[in-house]
Amino acid sequence: MGILKIARMGHPVLSGSSKKVEDPTAPEIKKLVSDMVETMEDAPGIGLAAPQVHQPLRIVIFKVPELRVLEKKQALPLTVLINPVIEVLTEDTEKGIEGCLSLPGMSGVVPRFSHIGYHGFDTNGKKIEREARDFHARVVQHECDHLDGVLYPMRMTDLSSFGFVEEMEKQNQNRTMKE
């Protein structure tokens, strides 16, 4: 068990395409996933992809916290997805604020497909197959993008919303104080 070092934007491991995991049940994959969970909880974050911890393998982990969804039943505990595949179920997109552990302190508004299907495997080799909407769909798209070397700023259509969270919060506070 251990907390792993997180690669930041600019490191080449984040811009390459990750390799398929041949055996999702292999002990070294279980160990990597367990270290990824520990690293994500420590950060803290709600999603992490293997290339972010310098392992260019097709593995993502994520959760959907209750705070991010309208109804409690839409929340999801930690999910491990190995060799994930996404199917876009609508052309509709919605914009939402994203951050990433590989761009610490920053955030931006990113359009994502609002309804997707996805499947993959857990570390017991069990197939996971789900439909996802809204925040759930967003986090899966964000994490799976990491496996193809895509970081969220590359998906942004308006870079004026990109910046340091601390600065943007200051602006919001100033605005609130003036109003």
Interface residue list for Ni ion (CB under 5 A): 100
Q: Which segments of 87-164 does DSSP mark as H helices, in order?
A: 134-146
What is the closest distance, in whole angstroms, from the C-beta atom of residue 52 to Ni ion in the complex?
6
Residue among 20, 29, 28, 25 nearest 58 (CA)? 20
Q: How far is CA 158 from CA 97, 109, 145, in A?
A: 12, 8, 19
For residue 47, count CB atoms less than 10 angstroms from its CB and return exposed for 0-12, middle for 13-18, buried for 19 or more: buried
CB nearer to Ni ion: give 32 or 100. Answer: 100
Q: Which is nearer to Ni ion, 100 or 116 (CB)?
A: 100
Q: Which residue is nearest to Ni ion (CB)?
A: 100
Question: Least distance (Å) from Ni ion to the CB of residue 121?
Answer: 21
CB of 2 to Ni ion, least distance (A): 20
Max CA distance (Å), the chain: 58
Do residues 93 and 113 make contact, with C-beta atoms less than 8 angstroms apart? Answer: yes
CB nearer to Ni ion: pick between 25 and 109: 109
**Is 143 a residue of the active site?**
yes
Nearer to Ni ion among residue 100 and residue 144 (C-beta): 100
Distance CA 60, CA 47 (A): 7
Q: How far is the CB of 102 from Ni ion (least distance, A)?
A: 6
Which member of 143, 166, 167, 179 is catalytic? 143
Q: Which residues are catalytic?
A: 143
